[in-house]
Amino acid sequence: MSTLTDSAWPSAAHREVFPADAVDEITRFTDSLAAGTSLVATGSLAEGFGNPNSDIDLYVVHDASTPNVAVAIGMRKMRYVDCEHMTHASLRQLVTRVEQTSWSTVVDQQLRDVDRYYRLAIGVPIALTDSF
């Protein structure tokens, strides 16, 4: 795994965006990532709309060869952690589907695909592999 060189986790900028307990929880996930795995934080905390009761939304993106190791989902300390998994291949397919959408075909898109694309696009990169 390679982390962002200009803003290694957790940078001062990350600490401004995320509350201290969220930084601690995300760090626990980051420290346990398998090689070839990327982690993106998204949701209300990443968008700056979070509050002390906001959950932590994470996307784990891994190679097909990386075992899909379950990451705990549920109440962790005082925050709910929601963690979704996807492969690099499924991410590329998602990007292709959404980016090929026009105003006339947008009604054909699944809302889940548009939501995932948006969440990943506005997400805060925590750990990125070269293939991400």
Q: What are phi and psi of 40, to 5 degrees?
A: -130, 130
**Residue 108 confidence (pLDDT):** 85
- The lowest-confidence range among 51-55, 76-80, 112-116 is 76-80
List b or e across 39-51, with b for residues whose CB sees 16 or more CB atoms inside 10 angstroms. Answer: bbbbbebbeeebe
What percent of the chain is modeled with pLDDT above 70?
84
**Residue 69 confidence (pLDDT):** 55
Q: pTM for this one?
A: 0.80
Given a cut of 60, whether residue 1 has pLDDT beyond it is: no
Mean pLDDT of 46-72: 78
What percent of the chain is modeled with pLDDT above 90?
20
